[in-house]
Amino acid sequence: MFRNVLCLVLGLIVGMQLTELWDYLMLTGDEYESTAIAVDTAAPTPLAEATLADRLYHETRVLCLVLTMPTQHKTKAAKVMSTWGARCNKLIFLSSQDDVELGAVNLNVTESRDNLYAKVRAGLAYAYEHYVEDYDWFLKADDDTYVVMENLRLFLYPYDPEAAVFFGHRFRTTYPHGYMSGGAGYVLSRDALRRLNLFALNNTKFCPLNTNAEDRQIGHCLLNVGVVAGDSRDELGRERFLPLHPRHLMPRIQSGTWLDKYYYFKPNLSDCCSDSGISFHYTKMYDYDMYEFFLYHLRIFGLPKTPSVLPQRLDYKQMEEKLQYWDQQISDNTAPIDD
Ligand SMILES: *[C@@H]1O[C@H](CO)[C@@H](O)[C@H](O)[C@H]1NC(C)=O
Ligand SMILES: *[C@@H]1O[C@H](CO)[C@@H](O)[C@H](O)[C@H]1NC(C)=O
Ligand SMILES: *[C@@H]1O[C@H](CO)[C@@H](O)[C@H](O)[C@H]1NC(C)=O
């Protein structure tokens, strides 16, 4: 008898907590719709990671723009679509030929290495015209980039997409703030995409059309319209966006590569890569499925897997302070660069 009463009471308590949890989830969802950024004031509620990843999918919406070309539609682009690209909120391939099955758009730019910048410009204009209000962040990647979308969303979650910022693996160049590696992938906030389209792409002073490298040029255009180059390294200074293949990073970053000349923040050679890493470059055809297997399927027996909480979102003032801080970060790589 006593045991039955105890069970009843326990059941009621659990039920009430679940109801509260449900209300909490509904509430934060609504708030996010109506304001630029909702700041969680309630104590973080531990939830299963799968539930959090699902929530992130809806709250940190990413449109992926993957640079490819017709000869790669059935090879690398198809691999992107069947692996990480499927986890984007929307996936669009920037190409010179329409491909409905793939979701490739013909941007009417002649295929050539010299035209990659023109193609990315056209792609970012296309994304702006059709989708700027539908997504929060706009990722530009190559067809040999591999992106862990869940970690990208987790990294972006605290930041307001209405702040003018972009993230990626930062390279140094002749202008002080540098730019983000195109191969590691870079991600623009909604406001960065808006500024690029409203004030840069139509202005030859801020954003000249030429045949230079797309990442360097887009970076320059963004900086010229007040978009801040954000810092995406983790709390130990390890990079999350990686411009190399893992075999050149582990167990040590190989020194004497082109990276020595380009890195903006000095890497720790023996501890290169963040545990919450986001991207790799130079993905080979056989790598896509291998990464999928190791990242999404293989389970290690006995490895603790604890429920986690989402980080706090920054409010307007905190975001402003972050932008100012990032804007003043200067490279510790002072060697001259000759590109
Ligand atoms: C490319 O050109 C065709 C024909 O003029 C046009 O229908 C299409 O909308 C253009 N594509 C883009 C992305 O502008
Ligand atoms: C670019 O477009 C914006 C918004 O329509 C306009 O205010 C600005 O004057 C244009 N710039 C140039 C150089 O045409
Ligand atoms: C580099 O990483 C190693 C291994 O994690 C660590 O022991 C060392 O303190 C790091 N060095 C710097 C300068 O952070």
The predicted-structure confidence for 51-103, as pLDDT tens digits, reads as follows: 888 899 999 999 999 999 999 999 999 999 999 999 999 999 999 999 999 99
Q: Give the residue carrying structure tokens 């990626």.
A: 168
Cβ of 107 less than 6 Å from ligand 1:
yes
**d(Cα 86, Cα 77) in Å, to the nearest integer?**
11
Residue 46 or 106, more confident: 106
Q: Nearest C-alpha to atom 6 of ligand 3 is from which residue?
A: 271
CA of 271 to the centre of ligand 3 (A): 6
pLDDT for res 87: 97
Residue 47: pLDDT band (50, 70, 90) is low
197 within some domain: yes
What pLDDT score was predicted for residue 16?
Answer: 43
Q: What CATH number has the domain bearing residue 248?
A: 3.90.550
Residue 155: domain span: 61-299+313-328
Give the whole-angstrom CA distance, residue 157 versus residue 74: 33
**Residue 263: inside a domain, yes or no?**
yes
Domain assignment present for 227: yes
Domain membership flag for residue 172:
yes
- Tally of structural domains, the chain: 1
CA-proximal residue: ligand 3, atom 13 (nearest): 268
* CA nearest neighbour of 281 among 106, 84, 136, 109: 84
The answer to the question of residue 155 being in a domain is: yes
Alpha carbon distances (Å) from 54 to 87, 183, 310, 327: 11, 27, 12, 32
Q: How far apart are CA 61 and CA 279, in angstroms?
A: 17
Q: Return the best residue to mutate from 198, 201, 204, 209 for the ligand 2 pocket (most ligand atoms within 8 A of CB).
A: 198
Atom of ligand 2 nearest to the CA of 204: 13
* Mutation test residue for ligand 1: of 108, 130, 201, the one with most atoms within 8 Å of CB: 108
Residue 7 lies in a domain: no
pLDDT band of 31, cuts 50, 70, 90:
very low
Classify residue 155 as exposed, middle or buried by CB count within 10 Å of its CB (0-12, 13-18, 19+): buried
Q: CB of 244 within 8 A of CB of 278?
A: no
Q: Which ligand is nearest to the CA of 268?
A: 3
Q: Is the CB of 129 under 6 A from ligand 1?
A: no
Indicate whether 28 belongs to any domain.
no
Question: Rounded to 10 degrees, what is the CA torsion of 241, 300, 50, 230?
Answer: -10
* Residue 214: pLDDT over 70: yes
> What letter would DSSP give residue 171?
E
Q: Does residue 331 line the site of ligand 3, with CB under 6 A?
A: no
Q: Mean pLDDT of all residues in the chain? A: 87
Count the helices and strands in the chain (H runs, E runs). 10, 11
Query: Hey, which of 194, 202, 206, 224 would you mutate to test ligand 2's pocket, going by the most ligand atoms within 8 Å of its Cβ?
Result: 202
Determine the distance from the C-alpha atom of residue 138 to the mean position of all C-alpha atoms in its chain, rounded to a whole number: 8
pLDDT tier at 40, thresholds 50, 70, 90: low
* Cα–Cα distance for residue pair 215/281, rounded to 1 Å: 14
* Closest C-alpha to 190, from 63, 54, 48: 63
Torsion on CA atoms 52, 310, 219, 260, rounded to nearest 10:
-100
